[in-house]
Amino acid sequence: MTELLFQLEMRPAMTLADMKRYVADHHAVSCTPQSISRMFSSMHVNWKTHLHIPPHWNDPHILQLRHDFVVRRAMDVDKDLIFVGDTGFDLNFNRSQDPSCLDQGATLSLVPRTSQATLIGAMSTQGYVHHEIINADGKRVTGVMASDYEEFLERLSGKLDKRRSVVIVDGMKLGGTKDGEAPVLRGRLAERFREPESLEMLLAPARSQGASVPLDPAVLRTEIDFLPPHSAFLSPIEISFVDLKAHIIAHPEPITERSQLIARINNAIRSLFPPPKPQDWFNFVAKEIYPNCFNRAPIDGPIIKHPDSFVSPP
């Protein structure tokens, strides 16, 4: 089951039939799409706060990519970081009855991404900068695609200070590889964003001594950087997703239809993340995780730290 969860994260378009084939091909086990669906519906939607980081997420190559990432970010401490990510929402109804007749309504459930309403969000230290919900009406037959991310980033770029902002996104969402090969910016995305300077350029003597850098048309584009593979814990927006789902689950009013779920997601984003909460998450990542990444040390513990861990006792 854990392996399927990881596969679903890497391959958002994966369907139940795809999962059935994956289990058969990799484990020689026969199962039905229905049995996989039942297993998913029984999993907690915030499984990343319970599941620990697997050993292969700390391969030497990954550790080097994390080191390079935090060095780039340390060289740009005056920049505003904007983390972009996505998470899915779906409702689990009692299918044997009319859900409108059920007092308890529906609960949030894990399902293949092709059925989910998927939130794509962008967060700074001040909270959400921009968000969109993909497949809000449930009529799409595909999961979130690279084109969805490209369109989201294009709209996001108009809301940012191009000289001060750095957008950070999982490269695999835009066509990068699980080995860390960054995607190539093309078309309108390349017109709005530029890739970060190489470490060699950032660490060059002239740059480190504060020498002025000639203006280039590229500075008029927003810098974009890519998270290393298997490094969701470096993204504060992932902590906000946990908080968001916990808030919706705890809401006293039952959810009886999809439109209510969408409304609650939108309302929660507007009210749930006032300063200094986002800043606390950014500080945690910078102070607790960056040093280990800089030292190429393995990261252990849950994939995502639970937001309750940041609440000070009364």
Domains and CATH numbers, the chain: 44-310 (3.30.420.10)
Q: Please give the pLDDT value at position 314.
A: 42
CA distances from 204 to 96, 105, 143, 174, 199 (A): 66, 60, 42, 29, 8
Distance CA(261)–CA(285), nearest Å, equals 30
pLDDT cut 70: percent of the chain above it: 85
Q: Is the pLDDT of residue 312 over 50?
A: no
Check whether 106 has a pLDDT greater than 50. yes
Q: Which residue has the higher pLDDT, 65 or 209?
A: 65
Residue 84 is classified by DSSP as E
Question: What span, in angstroms and rounded, lies between the C-alpha atoms of 88 and 105?
Answer: 19
Q: HSE, CB side, 13 Å, CA atoms: give it for residue 122.
A: 23
pLDDT the model gives residue 252: 84
Q: Which has more pLDDT, 200 or 53?
A: 53
Report the pLDDT value the prediction gives residue 216, as an integer from 0 to 100: 60
H-run or E-run covering 193: strand 193-194
- Looking at residue 104, its pLDDT comes to 58
56-77 pLDDT per residue, tens? 999 999 999 999 999 999 887 8
The residue that leads in pLDDT, 312 or 232, is 232
64 vs 254, residue with greater confidence: 64
pLDDT value of residue 103: 55
The total number of residues shown for the chain amounts to: 314
Which band of pLDDT confidence, cut at 50, 70 and 90, is reported for residue 96?
Answer: very low
> pLDDT averaged over the chain?
85
- What average pLDDT does range 124-143 have in this prediction? 90
Count H helices, E strands: the chain?
A: 12, 8
Beta bridge mates, 127: 124
Is the pLDDT at 97 greater than 50? The verdict is no
Quick one: which H or E segment has residue 223?
A: strand 222-227
**Angle, CA 262 vertex, CA 251 and CA 305 arms, to 5°:** 60
Residue 116 above 90 pLDDT? no
3-state helix, strand, coil in the chain (%, to 5): 45, 15, 40
pLDDT of residue 211: 53
Give the C-alpha separation, 290 to 253, whole Å.
40
pLDDT at 46: 86
In the structure encoding, which two tokens stand for residue 95, read together? 């299918």
Host H or E run for residue 165: strand 165-170
Residue range 25-33: mean pLDDT, rounded: 89
